[in-house]
Structure 1
Amino acid sequence: MDLERPVQIVWQGPFTLAAAIASSTAPSKGVYQIYGQHIVFGPNSLLYVGMTDGQTFGARLAQHRDRWLVHEDDVTIRLGVVADLDSSARLADIEALTIWWHSPPYNSKNIWTYGGGPLRIQNLGARGRLHPEYSSHWKPARTPPDGEHP
């Protein structure tokens, strides 16, 4: 896929965690955003970006609930359906580029580098705090902390 044909993600939400988990119409492949209270960034902060491939949004979010979301306040979820998704590798690139561009504080991978293929993403619908559009060819403006390498 070249950069002239952008990947489009149609976002829905925000949902409560319980409503997102209970959703039975969610596709088995997609991306999601988790928002909540952050000690530095405040209320309604983008905390985490993830993907689900081979399980429903509800099943994946239940895993997060059981591991760490039970300790978070004011959690809301946004669910993204990727138009014309052609492979699991493309989905992983979409997740990685979204993390690289937005640096959610609870993600640990893909913060300082993007190693996927050429990609341009357009976020449509209820996109929350995500940029409307971003590309692997554009560089987010930030400098890694001392001792870390981009």
Structure 2
Amino acid sequence: MIQTQHMIQIDWNGPYKLPELNQLTNTETDYGVYQIYGKHPVYGSNVLLYIGKADRQTFGIRISQEGWLYQNDANNLKIYIGRLHGNQPSSGSAWSSEIDLAERLLLYVHKPAHNSKSIASLVNQQLQYVHVLNWGHHRDLLPEVSGFRWTGRLDEEGYEVYRWE
């Protein structure tokens, strides 16, 4: 059975500071995936702390609910927002599904410190054909991640090292 890749493209903008999030409430475009950078007691300053999604709420509303204002170095947090884009716009449940798939694959691959509950496992069946392309100001995220690479999909194929015959 041949499966096709499911391509998700994300256009990243930022950095934003927490007070600037109030402007990210456009109900037509301010949905997608976001990343937060800041200080971590083990990993240091200016590191990827969190990847989240704004699906049924805009970036401005969703990120303000996370409680980042109460972090000890909240003034130095940097937030990058990623909006889905491409030549085939999706809407409704398809858009929500793409936001969810992109967030889960990005979480699994990058393993931010404050997402410890979400990075433990990856559902191979749902993500093995997902391919995420990060454009714009994607910061420390890899420019391209593939479920084909990060799931156990290739482990099941019986691959061997090539031999000269």
**TM-score, normalization by structure 1:** 0.81
Structure 1 position 89, deviation (Å): 2.1
In the alignment, which of 106, 112, 116 is matched to residue 98 of structure 1? Answer: 106
Give, in angstroms, the shift of residue 68 of structure 1: 4.1
Contact 2:25 2:61 in 1 (8 A): no
CA distance in 2, matches of 1:110, 1:135: 18
Letter in 2 for 1:23: L
Aligned to 1:7: 8
Does 2:150 correspond to 1:139? yes
Q: Structure 1 pair 98/53, CA: closer, same or farther in 2 (3 Å)? A: same
What percent of counterpart residues are identical? 35
SS at match of 1:48: strand
* Superposition RMSD in Å: 2.0
Q: Which amino acid aligns with 1:138?
A: R
> Is 1:31 aligned to residue 42 of structure 2?
no
Rg (Cα) greater in structure: 2
Equivalent pairs counted in the alignment come to 137
Question: What's 2:70 paired with?
Answer: 70
1:70, distance to aligned residue in structure 2 (A): 1.7
Q: Partner of 2:121: helix, strand, or coil? A: coil
2:135 is the counterpart of 1:124:
yes
Contact 2:38–2:47 under 8 Å retained in 1: yes
* Residue identity opposite 1:94 in structure 2: A
Aligned counterparts of 1:70 and 1:10: Cα–Cα separation in 2: 29
Runs of 4+ in 1 over 6 A off after TM superposition: none
Q: Which has the higher helix share?
A: 2
1:61 maps to which of 47, 60, 63: 63
Once the two structures are superposed, what CA deviation does each residue of 1:53-72 show, in whole Å capped at 9, x if it has no partner? 121100011101xx344224
Q: Which moved more, 1:15-24 or 1:71-80?
A: 15-24
Return the TM-score normalized by structure 2.
0.75
Mapping 1:99-114, distance limit 5 Å: 99-114=107-122
**What code does the residue aligned with 1:36 have?**
G
> Contact between 1:119 and 1:136, CA under 8 Å: does it hold in 2?
yes
SS at match of 1:138: helix
| Cα distance change of structure 1 residues 31 and 138 upon mapping to structure 2, 3 Å threshold | same
Residue range with higher mean Cα deviation, 18-27 or 41-50? 18-27
Instruction: For residues 42-87 of structure 1, give each alpha carbon's deviation from its aligned partner in whole angstroms, at most 9, with x where no partner exists.
Output: 11100000001121100011101xx344224121100000113433
Stretches of structure 2 lacking an aligned partner (at least 5 in a row): 152-165
